[in-house]
Structure 1
Amino acid sequence: MLIKNSKTDICANRFGGDGDIIIEHYLDESLLNDSVVMYAKLTLKPGCNLGYHQHTGNNETIVVLRGTAEYNDNGTPMLLHPGDTVHCPSGESHSIGNAKDAAEDLLLQALIIKC
């Protein structure tokens, strides 16, 4: 099945973070079974971030597609680069962002699955 029309959301200050996060859903929720919360590409402009938050009842896997991500894994900061993958299981916390002085947008692929 070829999918041509995907939904795009713009979320301001997501989880208390800074700026607008552009979420381009690969699939409409109606095509996903109840176990998949989101499968999407996220764009974070320089200075934008998803605030620190805990996952409860779901797991998130993020792949960095472009740019350098500032990632907080349960209080441990690290830098992620294209091709890096991180996983945040239920009960754990994280945040991710693009530095204010970044030269390019941060592009991420995110998959959130209920557990």
Structure 2
Amino acid sequence: MIINFKEIEAKHVDGFKGGEGDFITKLADDGKVKIMLNTLTAGSSIGTHTHIGNCEVMYILKGEITFVYDGKEETAHAGDVHYCPCDHTHRAENRTSEDAEFFAIVPETK
């Protein structure tokens, strides 16, 4: 199965999961796994949330994103992967003046 993100309409979400600013996503979802191409615009964030019943793998394509993972801060750059296992908590912040892009997969684990 090919997922062509060029054919998926981008959705803009203001304050995704309680964060701040513009989050842009192109989402493929079959009910078992979410596959996303995302942009976290400059100065924006994704709010703190816990992955219950799923996990998340985020591959940074462009820019940098600072994560607070289970209370610990870490910064990922293009080429890095951030992983949030089931039952763990994270948030994401783009503290830079440039948009950050990342590919994310959220499979259901239960």
User: What is the TM-score normalised by the length of structure 1?
Assistant: 0.85
**Is contact 2:24–2:38 with CA below 8 Å preserved after alignment?**
yes
SS in 1 for 2:7: coil
By how many angstroms is 1:103 displaced? 3.3
How many Å separate the matches in 1 of 2:78 and 2:58?
A: 11
SS in 2 for 1:15: helix
Q: State the match for 2:60 in structure 1.
A: 64
Are positions 1:111 and 2:105 aligned together?
yes
User: What is the TM-score normalised by the length of structure 2?
Assistant: 0.88
- How large is the Cα RMSD of the aligned pairs? 1.5
How many Å separate the matches in 1 of 2:16 and 2:7?
A: 24
User: Percent identity over the alignment?
Assistant: 28
Which of 16, 24, 41 is matched with 1:14 structurally?
16
SS in 2 for 1:95: strand
**Is contact 2:45–2:92 with CA below 8 Å preserved after alignment?**
yes
By how many angstroms is 1:11 displaced? 1.1
Structure 1: state its 5+ residue gaps. none
